[in-house]
Amino acid sequence: MKIAFIGLGNMGAPMALNLLKNGHTLNVFDLNQAAVQTLVDAGASASASPKAAATGVECVVTMLPAAAHVKRVLTADDGVLAGIARGATIVDSSTIDPASAQAFAKLAAERGNPFVDAPVSGGTGGAAAGTLTFMVGANAGVYEQVKPMLAAMGKNIVHCGDTGMGQVAKICNNLLLGITMAGVAEAMSLGVALGIDPKVLAGIVNTSTGRCWSSDTYNPYPGIVETAPASRGYTGGFGTDLMLKDLGLAADAAKSAKQPVYLGALAQQLYQTMSKHGDGGLDFSSVIKLYHDVGAKR
Ligand code: NAD
């Protein structure tokens, strides 16, 4: 399949590499030329703009930081909608608010292009391994069309409902993730302050009722999980500012639904404090720094 891939960051680059590995032909675009070069070295063609990338392809995939970037890439004079052929599909895997996804779908439909929201979970490790979970919002026919392409980048491809429902699933998951990470950071810090060996405490939690992904796969305490950002100075992984963005999306969506998110609001303030202290670029598990000094690298 001929695909345009726009947004080659921590997630987008390994996802695009997996499309190439699976035999797809890729046009790529990113503002960061080093990221583009990595994909060109692997066999992709560099494009001068999103418009140029989208010209002549069957599908455009975007993996960008936030809704404002997606809007710019889609609607600018040199944007995707200016170049894409009628009938070609746009798949946005960025995490954005459901209302924006629905607005982009409307805009794309006016030009004869199906738009799919397909945010992911699984982190940079899942992106590299091709084991991401895709949460797909689209009508059933379009979902079936994009499923084989998504399967080149992910293991679980889940149809969540019509447009926007992929983003609903994603922001609810990340609301929970932001809360559980803060909870694990709090419990680990309390245990250590009271004198228990952190490895013993993590071992107990991970075989007890407190176990969760934040404790067993991505523990925020250094040295518990070798592959977790906590064990490399909180570098790489999922940035605090991106978690803050997702909690903001959840808070906004909750407001529109008149639904309380008590713990989410508190978690948002914790990550906001991290960001204010200059730690927005560290992995979000560095929230443990609010509890004690764990020697994070800046
Ligand atoms: P990132 O910041 O590493 O990458 C974003 C890329 O988009 C960068 O290469 C940047 O240069 C590019 N970009 C920005 N504006 C652009 C424009 N106008 N035109 C072209 N390229 C542009 O972000 P990431 O970690 O890859 O995350 C991307 C999305 O995936 C975000 O919405 C994030 O919330 C979501 N996400 C991230 C993770 C993770 O673990 N990092 C996990 C799941 C979902």
* pLDDT score of 296: 52
In a shared domain, residues 200 and 260 = yes
Which of 18, 27, 63 best tests ligand 1's pocket when mutated (most atoms within 8 Å of CB)? 63
Q: Which ligand 1 atom minimizes the distance to the CA of 7? A: 7
Q: In a mutational test of the pocket of ligand 1, which residue from 8, 64, 93 has the highest number of ligand atoms less than 8 Å from its CB?
A: 64
Q: For residue 93, report the distance from its CA to the centre of ligand 1, in Å.
A: 9
CATH of the domain at 144: 3.40.50.720
**Ligand 1 pocket, 39 CB below 6 A?**
no
Mean pLDDT, range 233-258, rounded to an integer: 95
Q: Which of 162, 180, 198 is the last residue of a domain?
A: 162
Q: What percent of the chain has pLDDT over 90?
A: 95
What is the pLDDT at residue 123? 86
Per-residue pLDDT tens over the stretch 130-157: 999 999 999 999 999 999 999 999 999 9
- Asked whether the whole model's pTM tops 0.75, one would answer yes
Distance 67 CA to ligand 1 centre (A): 11
12 lines ligand 1 (CB under 6 A): yes
- 3-state SS track over the chain: CEEEEECCCCCHHHHHHHHHHCCCEEEEECCCHHHHHHHHHCCCEECCCHHHHHCCCCEEEECCCCHHHHHHHHHCCCCHHHHCCCCCEEEECCCCCHHHHHHHHHHHHHCCCCEEECCEECHHHHHHHCCEEEEEECCHHHHHHHHHHHCCCEEEEEEEECCCHHHHHHHHHHHHHHHHHHHHHHHHHHHHHCCCCHHHHHHHHCCCCCCCHHHHCCCCCCCCCCCCHHHHCCCCCCEHHHHHHHHHHHHHHHHHCCCCCHHHHHHHHHHHHHHHHHHCCCEHHHHHHHCCCCCCCC
Give the residue whose CA is nearest to atom 25 of ligand 1.
10
Number of other residues whose CB lies within 10 A of the CB of residue 19: 24
Name the residue type at position 236: G
Same-domain check for residues 172 and 155: no
Catalytic residue IDs: 170
6 lines ligand 1 (CB under 6 A): yes
152 in Cβ contact with 22 (< 8 Å) = yes
Domain-terminating residue out of 132, 162, 192: 162
Check whether residue 148 and residue 172 sit in a common domain: no
Please tell me whether residues 157 and 174 are part of one structural domain.
no
- Count other Cβ atoms within 10 Å, centred on residue 179: 21
- Mean pLDDT, to the nearest integer, of 226-248? 94
The string of pLDDT tens digits covering residues 162-184 is 999 999 999 999 999 999 999 99
Asked if residue 279 has its Cβ within 6 Å of ligand 1, the reply is: no
Question: Are both 180 and 150 inside the same structural domain?
Answer: no
pLDDT digits (tens, 9 = 90+) for 85-99: 999 999 999 999 999
What six digits make up the tokens of 154? 């992910």
Number of structural domains the chain divides into: 2
Residues 141, 210, single domain; the answer is no
Range of the domain at 25: 2-162
The pLDDT, as a whole number, for residue 237 is 87
Specify whether 130 is located in the same domain as 233.
Answer: no
Residue whose Cα lies nearest atom 31 of ligand 1: it is 65
Of 111, 144, 162, the domain-final residue: 162
Beta bridge partners of 115: 90
Q: Which atom of ligand 1 is the closest one to the Cα of 12?
A: 26
